[in-house]
Structure 1
Amino acid sequence: MTVFDEDEPARAPWLVTLADLSLLLVGFFVFLQASQVDPAKLAAGIRAGFGVRETAPAAMPVDIATATGFAPGSAAPVDTGSALEWARGAARDPRTLLRITGEVDGSAADVDPATGSGPILAADRARAVAALLVAQRAVDPARIAISTGRGQRRAVLALGFEGGRQ
């Protein structure tokens, strides 16, 4: 049998209401502060908390060209005249980024002679085309990104819109 202390004074009902109101006000001010956070910064903070590295979003592609005629196992560009002229005209807008993707055909003969690696040869092809475009002053080197792929013996030049920069 439990014995209750009958002499303890009862709490006033308005104290419970005051506590509820105080908690609602605190919650409201927390909500106001949280809504002032930039969503992109919040998402970046969450990704960083989980150890995810930041990556820039890929530029939206708007036009492409190719540099073809690479010999198997060679990074020396052969047919770049049309790609050079295309790059001069296409990269005039400073809000664009030129992504050059070097490709190999996947055959045993189409690999880097020194390392035997297809991806290294693909990167060398993209770099060779990028170096040609920079040497001919067709594109600013800060607006070039290089990647590798598998498909044909070529380099694909994709002009992408980054936006925002003027």
Structure 2
Amino acid sequence: MSDDALLDIQPGRPLWLITLADLALLLVGFFVLLQANQTLTPHDLARGIAEGFGVEPAPVAMPVASHGVAGFAPGSAVLPQSTDALVKWARAELRDPRVRLTVTASTDGSAADVDPGSHSATVLAADRARAVAAALAAGGVPDARLLLSTTPAHGPRAVVVTLAFAGETISQGTPR
């Protein structure tokens, strides 16, 4: 076969069709991801994607003890009492490098217990958690060992600081 005969051979599919097929597959994948996001919790979806890429999940911290601040006024994130006892407890417990503290705040679910600016209970709970975390940090608790969270369940107007065993640390400082 001559070189001129090779130039006359047409490809089996036009290039635009291959590009269109790639785009269609990307769109199908995107819609599958959207559908999965509706039926799974964001935590389950992230765990599934991480497992798909072969990433090992971080170990779940085991709660051991807790301490808290209660008595917040409705709609307020101002600390209702001194946090000296909480700071003393946290500093003593964090001497062990294998533990971490989780600061979880909640609201009581009433219409009065919301953030005055945004009218959101979640924002108010986050403000309460930040106020307690700031008091802990001001008392010498390293903020790198604090995890802030809010609870969707309505309970008392309080912030609970939970001590959890996070696992042994390796030389780089990440938990095993």
In 2: Cα distance, 1:66 partner to 1:140 partner: 18
4+ aligned runs moved over 6 Å, structure 1: none
Unaligned runs of 5+ in 2: 1-45, 171-176
Q: Which residue in the other structure is 1:70 paired with?
A: 72
Given that 2:47 and 2:57 are in contact with CA atoms closer than 8 Å, whether structure 1 keeps it comes out as no
Runs of at least 5 residues in structure 1 that lack an aligned partner in the other structure: 1-43
Partner of 1:87: 90
| Distance across 2 between alignment mates of 1:55 and 1:125 | 29
Partner of 1:59: 61
What is the TM-score with the length of structure 2 in the denominator?
A: 0.62
Percent identity reads 50
State the 1:56 CA deviation: 3.9
1:154 partnered with 2:158 = yes
Cα distance in 2 for partners of 1:165, 1:113 equals: 42
Kept after mapping to 1: 8 A contact 2:100/2:164: yes
> In the TM superposition, what is the alpha-carbon distance from 1:57 to its structure 2 partner?
4.0
Check 1:69–1:141 CA distance in 2 against 1; reply closer, same or farther (3 A cut).
same
Aligned length: 122
Q: Is the counterpart of residue 163 in structure 1 residue 167 in structure 2?
A: yes
